[in-house]
Amino acid sequence: MSAGELRQTKRRLFQRSLFQLMIKTKSWKELPADLKAIVESAAMAATFDGYTKWWIQTIEFDKKIRDYGVVTTKLSPKDQEKTRELTMEILDEKSRKDPYFAKVWKSQREFIQKYKPYYDFTKFD
C-alpha cells in the first residue's frame, strides 16, 4: 500500500521510514570503494526523492482522513513538554539496559545538542 492509499483495517496507522537502507555488514565490507560511493549516492537521491513525495502524499492523506471523519489534534505545549520528558526517561532507561542502544542514543543526543542552536535560530515562531 502506498502512503497515498487509505485502507481501513483497524483504528491504527503504522508508517515505515523513508530513511532506511539495510545492508549486511559483511556484504558492505566486501564492496569496493567505487561501488560503496554509488550505493551511498543512490541512497541519498532515493531519500530526497522519497521525502518530497512523502510531503505531497501527507498533505493528500491528511485531507482524506479528515474527510473520512478522523479528528486530529495537536498536543498543547505543556503536554508536548511532558511527552518529551517521558520520552527521554524511556530512552535513558533503555540505554541503561542495552550498551549498543546507549551508544546510538549518546550519538543522537550529541547531534541534537549541536543542531538545536541552528534549529532554534531558523524555525519560525
pTM above 0.75, yes or no: no
Give the pLDDT band (50/70/90) at residue 1: very low
Q: Cβ(88)–Cβ(94) under 8 Å? A: no
DSSP 56: H
Count Cβ atoms below 10 Å from residue 114 Cβ, excluding itself.
9
If DSSP states are collapsed to H, E and C, what string results for 89-103? HHHHHHHHHCHHHHH
pLDDT of residue 66: 92
- What residue type is assigned to position 102 of the chain? A
pLDDT of residue 62: 93
Over the stretch 15-25, which tens digit does the pLDDT of each residue have?
Answer: 556 667 778 89
pLDDT of residue 47: 87
Q: Cβ(105)–Cβ(95) under 8 Å? A: yes
Count Cβ atoms below 10 Å from residue 105 Cβ, excluding itself.
16
